[in-house]
């Protein structure tokens, strides 16, 4: 599968790990197949906007809203495994991926996240296996919402899903985010999820 594209980003975060203020934005346009040959023939556009807004000296409000749009038809010009499925640790927390993938999927997606982060334990120096590192702990309250669709008729509020919950963030060097979240769906069912991403990986993948 041959692809060519371009991306532009703007990063004004005060720090990489546990930012307190600034923006982290990216716009990307990619062409797959067509004159490039290969499996598929479609365009993909991503717009990923994230704002870290200080509430006071220690508390942070995070607003994020990635949007992904694709041309073509799933199963024809777009391979089935390239559509979007809601649910899971980097989508709508509180919902399992398998739970929503049956009827909440499509070639396009929108996700919205609000997260309120607060300190639990300030970073301090620890020695582990002969190495010294600054480690800290933060908490978070979050709410996620999202929608995946292929047809214009499927872009409706009644197909959107929501999740909410609370979590912990381990603050450590060379790691962008290490989190443990307990999420709840709209019916109150709970789902535990975790994620670990290095700073380099955070530059490659869209994360909240």
Residue at token pair 């060519």: 4
- The total domain count for the chain is 1
Is 207 inside any structural domain? no
Residue with tokens 């992904």: 68
Helices and strands, counts by H and E, the chain: 2, 13
**Residues of the chain under the 70 pLDDT cut:** 101, 128-129, 131, 174-176, 197-208
Q: What is the pLDDT of residues 142-154, one digit of tens each?
A: 999 999 999 999 9
- pTM of the full predicted structure? 0.85
Tell me, what's the pLDDT at 36?
80
Structure tokens at 170: 């381990």
Nearest in space to 189 (alpha carbons), one of 109, 92, 102, 114 = 92
pLDDT of residue 200: 42
CA distances from 184 to 83, 141, 142, 198 (A): 25, 12, 10, 26
**Residue 204: what pLDDT?**
43
Residue 141: strand, helix, or coil: strand
CA distance 184 to 191: 6
CATH number, domain with residue 140 = 2.40.160.50
Closest among 95, 175, 165 to 135, alpha carbons compared: 175
- Determine the pLDDT at residue 112: 94
Contact partners, residue 80, CB within 8 Å, separation at least 6: 74
Q: Is 54 domain-assigned? A: yes
What is the per-residue pLDDT for 89?
84
Q: Where are the alpha helices (DSSP H) in 31-123?
A: 97-100
- Specify the length of the chain in residues: 208
5, 46 Cβ separation under 8 angstroms: no
pLDDT at 127: 73
Phi, psi of 118 (to 5 degrees): -145, 150
Q: Give 3-state DSSP helix, strand, coil % of the chain, rounded to 5.
A: 10, 55, 35
Phi (first) and psi of residue 182, to 5 degrees: -110, 110
- So what's the pLDDT on residue 135? 82
Residue 208 belongs to a domain: no
What is the residue range of 23's domain?
3-202
């Amino acid at each position: 599968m041959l692809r060519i594209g371009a991306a532009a980003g703007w990063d004004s975060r005060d720090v990489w790990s546990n930012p307190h203020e600034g923006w982290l934005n990216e716009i990307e346009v990619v062409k797959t197949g067509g004159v490039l040959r290969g499996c598929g023939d479609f365009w993909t556009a991503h717009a990923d906007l994230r704002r870290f807004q200080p509430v006071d000296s220690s508390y942070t409000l995070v607003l994020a809203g990635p949007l992904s749009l694709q041309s073509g038809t799933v199963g024809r010009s777009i391979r089935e495994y390239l559509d979007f499925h809601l649910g899971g640790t980097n989508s709508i927390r509180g919902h399992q991926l398998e739970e929503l993938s049956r009827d909440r999927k499509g070639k396009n997606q929108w996700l919205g996240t609000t997260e309120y982060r607060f300190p639990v334990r300030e970073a301090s120096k620890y020695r582990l296996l002969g190495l010294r590192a600054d480690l800290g702990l933060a908490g978070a309250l979050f709410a996620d919402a999202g929608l995946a669709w292929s047809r214009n008729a499927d872009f409706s509020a009644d197909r959107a899903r929501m999740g909410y919950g609370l979590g912990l963030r381990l603050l450590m060097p060379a790691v962008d985010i290490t989190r443990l979240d307990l999420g709840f769906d709209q019916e109150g069912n709970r789902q535990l999820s975790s994620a670990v991403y290095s700073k380099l990986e955070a530059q490659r993948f869209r994360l909240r």
